[in-house]
Amino acid sequence: MNLFKATPLTLLLTLIAAFPTTSIEADEKPLNIILFLVDDWGWTDGGVFGSDLYQTPNMDKLAREGTLFSQAYAACTVCSPTRSAVLTGLYPARTYLTDWIGGHAPNYSNLPLQEPEWTKKLEFKHTTIAEVLKQNGYRTASIGKWHLTPKGKPGSPEVAAYWPEHHGFDKNIGGNQFGSPGSYFAPYGKGDGIRLNMPESKKGDYITDRLVDEAVELIENWKDDPFFFYFPLYNVHLPLQAKDEYIALYQDKVKPGMRHTNAKYAAMVHAVDVAIGRVSDALEAAGLSENTMIILTGDNGGLIRGGLTSNAPLREGKGSVYEGGVRVPCVVKLPGGAQGARNETPIISNDFFPTILSAAGIQNIVNDTDGQDLTPILSGASETIADRDLFWHYPHYHTQGSTPYSAIRSGDYRLIEYHRDGNVELYNLANDIGECNDLSRHQPHIVNKLKQKLHAWRDSVSAQMPTPHPDYDPTKPTLNPSQTKKLKSKK
């Protein structure tokens, strides 16, 4: 594929290749970079993040060696848009990839609003972080979940054309069109499609273990060159499946009154922690620990349906309009940077693109994204970055509670605007992290100020809006009967 896309960013890439100007000295090897993106991972799903059940010594160690961001956000309340934001540095509203690919529209038969014609793939016109790094001498691998292709027959040309290897990655291990495996144990379920690009596995192999096996081998094989691993784990997405020995670690630890009470889910989190530990050990064995940046974060809030996890004190979870749907764990280790730091600066998925480029010494294009460079915080040079607002735009319905909405985080305030009727909710997160006290009627001046900012931002990115559905009948149920039955069975 042609990596030089017709965008302003591409023109800068061409200039970089011709006239490289980086902060890395000529005789100094650039940093290796590993970005772990954990699926459906709740804000408190780890020991260092406040869990009273999950044992995560490797996450805890990473936090001691780097910076924990307590107010980190996913770019969307569902996965595909956030994945796009991580890879491109662009808000989902700008790329029009605003829902998980598949979406919930087929589950509804009667809605007041119809969603826009959104983009159901990562388009080639958007340059990825892998492409930029590859242009600057990095070897690149996507290891795990992709879920950025159009829907279609698994492995068909129109689907495979959008796999990671066509978006700047030298290696695609485990990435295809699926958002989750049919089973975490080989042969992984869902027929042959889920096994596309999966490493060869023996029956019963746990998918996370096999992906880490491949990563460990790549570290050894690529240790003489700078490399970037985009490592989007399938854990802890459904189906709820874990290794028996991990489940056994937690079965007797669950006690009444604990925040987290699901031993099998705890075992899935444990598998993530083991994965981080194994990769860290491989870096140590290869002599790369002190030259590798590690980012650990999530793609959206934790799924609370069926008692899987709890995002408390946050309100609700994945698929909702509230903090529990978008606030995620985040730890970043920058070699030579701050250690054991806890930072309260609000950050978002878009920030990783410019941050990675800055850490890699590629300073030229960090302003061509919707994110901000976090390296001043990570290095310990500053405790914050320039003030800015954060935005969300989800013109869709989700069975976990979302109706079409937009939102803004400005300072301590978070305003949510619903597209159907224009109603708003306003919360001061400084003293109401659980979003229990709607201030919209009491602080109209704040509401008006934030609405103006939100609308101006939507206009600036040409955000797609839902439109009234001409066939909507308020006397009829919104969900298809089969979906209503399915949701009731999972409560």
- Torsion region of 89: left, alpha or beta (phi above 0 gives left; psi -120 to 50 gives alpha): left
* Predicted pLDDT at 15: 42
* Predicted pLDDT at 487: 53
Fold (topology level) of 30-384: Alkaline Phosphatase, subunit A (3.40.720)
CB distance 393 to 91 below 8 Å: yes
Task: Using alpha carbons, select from 233, 174, 218 the residue that is nearest to residue 32.
Answer: 218
pLDDT tens digits, one per residue of 23-34 = 444 457 899 999
Strand 139-143 relative to strand 227-232: parallel, antiparallel, unpaired? parallel
Strand 32-38 relative to strand 292-298: parallel, antiparallel, unpaired? parallel
CB distance 66 to 337 below 8 Å: yes
pLDDT tens digits, one per residue of 245-275 = 999 999 999 999 999 999 999 999 999 999 9
Q: Which CATH code for domain 392-466?
A: 3.30.1120.10
CB distance 98 to 394 below 8 Å: yes
**Domain regions of the chain by residue span:** 30-384, 392-466
Candidate ranges 84-88, 186-190, 362-366; pick with highest mean pLDDT? 84-88
pLDDT tens digits, one per residue of 141-152 = 999 999 999 999
